[in-house]
Amino acid sequence: MDKKLLLTIALLTSISLFGWGCAKPSDTQAPATQEPAAAETGESNPAELQPTSITETTSTAGTATKPETTVKTHAVVVPPKTDTTKQPADKPTTHTVSITASAFSPQVIAGNAGDTIRWVNNDTKPHTTASDGSLLWDSGSLQPGAAYSRVFKAAGSYPYHDGSTGIKGTVVIH
């Protein structure tokens, strides 16, 4: 082939590769990263994120007869699918207090507004549970094995006692 023809082909190839390269992202473009908002809002666990890669190819004209191709790989973090089967955190829960001969167990029990506190008499003698101060609740006599439940709708600290033995306990609602 004629030297002039080879130079013309090389020049046209370089120009077209250069033009194609201008339409692509530059080599100095920062790699894609995950926005921290998902982890901060609890939508996904950062330990469960799966890395994925994106490949970027750019071409440059090295010499008149041999163009170079550079391949760059950027890591991209893709969060896992959101689990839609989880129950909401504010779903009411039942907490149980065991009544024994000498104590409420646990002596202090905590819950959220809307939760139920359930007292179960696990002693061989009858017991009661009644609020201190203004009467908010009184279970009456609970025979062995019997239970009493109350839903607590408002936040606060609710001290109570057993009218039979004088043992004390507290319900703390957040």
Whether residue 129 lies inside any domain: the answer is yes
Quick one: pLDDT band at residue 34, thresholds 50, 70, 90?
very low
What is the model's pTM?
A: 0.50
93 in Cβ contact with 115 (< 8 Å):
yes
Q: Are 11 and 67 contained in the same domain?
A: yes
Q: What is the span of the domain harbouring residue 154?
A: 94-173
Q: Is 114 helix (H, G, I), strand (E, B) or coil?
A: coil
Q: How far apart are CA 160 and CA 119, in angstroms?
A: 12
Q: How far apart are CA 57 and CA 70, in angstroms?
A: 6
* 102-115: pLDDT as tens digits: 999 999 999 999 99
Query: Can you list the pairs that 144-150 forms with residues at least 24 positions away whose Cβ atoms lie under 8 Å?
Result: 145/120, 145/121, 146/120, 146/121, 147/118, 147/119, 147/120, 147/121, 148/118, 148/119, 149/94, 149/116, 149/117, 149/118, 149/119, 150/116, 150/117
For residue 47, what is the DSSP state? G
Q: Which residue has the higher pLDDT, 126 or 38?
A: 126
Q: Are 102 and 166 contained in the same domain?
A: yes
CATH for 161:
2.60.40.420
* 48-92: pLDDT as tens digits: 444 444 445 455 555 555 556 555 555 555 555 555 554 555 789
Q: How far apart are CA 78 and CA 52, in angstroms?
A: 7
Whether residue 89 lies inside any domain: the answer is no
